[in-house]
Amino acid sequence: MNFRQHLTNPVLNKEFRVRMRSNKTPWIITFYLFTLGFVLFFMLYTELSNQYTYWPSNIYNLFVMMSLLQYGLIIFATPGLTAGAICGERERQTLPILLTTNLSSLQIVLGKWISTLSFMLLLVFASLPIYGTIVLFGGVALTQIIEIFGVYLVTMLSIGAVGICVSTLTKRTGVAAVITYSLVFAYTALLNIAELFLLRSMENDMIRKAGFGNPPENLSNHPLIGFLEALDTINPASTIARVFTKENWLVNFRTEGLFVNYQPYGGFILWYLLLAILMLGLAAFFLRRRYMK
Mean pLDDT, rounded, for 137-142: 75
Q: What is the mean pLDDT of the chain?
A: 79
* pLDDT at position 87: 85
Mean pLDDT, rounded, for 119-147: 81
Which residues, 6 or more positions from 116, have their beta carbon under 8 angstroms from its beta carbon? 15, 81, 82, 85, 160, 163, 164
* pLDDT at position 278: 94
Give the integer Cα–Cα distance in Å for 256 and 24: 51
Higher pLDDT, 189 or 218: 189
Q: How big is the chain, counted in residues?
A: 293
* pLDDT at position 246: 60
* 290 band by pLDDT with thresholds 50, 70 and 90: low
- Cα 58 → chain centroid: 26
pLDDT at 207 over 50: yes
Contact 109, 287 (CB under 8 A): yes
Q: What is the DSSP letter of 220?
A: G
Residue 144: which of 268, 261, 240, 69 has the closest Cα?
Answer: 240
Q: For residue range 40-70, what is the model confidence (pLDDT) as tens digits?
A: 788 777 766 666 666 666 677 788 888 888 8
Residue type for 19, please? R
- Cα 97 → chain centroid: 33
* pLDDT at position 84: 83
Q: For residue range 76-127, what is the model confidence (pLDDT) as tens digits?
A: 888 888 888 888 888 888 888 878 877 788 888 888 888 888 888 888 888 8
CA angle 153, 228, 209 (to 5 degrees): 165
Give the integer Cα–Cα distance in Å for 112 and 41: 37
pTM for the predicted model, two decimal places? 0.82
* pLDDT at position 254: 40
Which span out of 18-22, 99-103, 123-127, 224-228 was modeled with the highest average pLDDT?
A: 123-127
Give the integer Cα–Cα distance in Å for 260 and 221: 15
The residue extents of the domains of the chain are 3-292
CB atoms within 10 A of CB 142: 10
**SS3 track for 118-187:** HHHHHHHHHCHHHHHHHHHHCCCCHHHHHHHHHHHHHHHHHHHHHHHHHHHHCCCHHHHHHHHHHHHHHH
Mean pLDDT, rounded, for 126-150: 81
pLDDT at 192 over 60: yes
pLDDT at 9 over 90: no
Q: For residue range 229-255, what is the model confidence (pLDDT) as tens digits?
A: 788 888 888 878 777 766 554 544 344
* pLDDT at position 252: 42
Higher pLDDT, 115 or 277: 277
Residue 233: which of 274, 284, 289 has the closest Cα?
Answer: 274
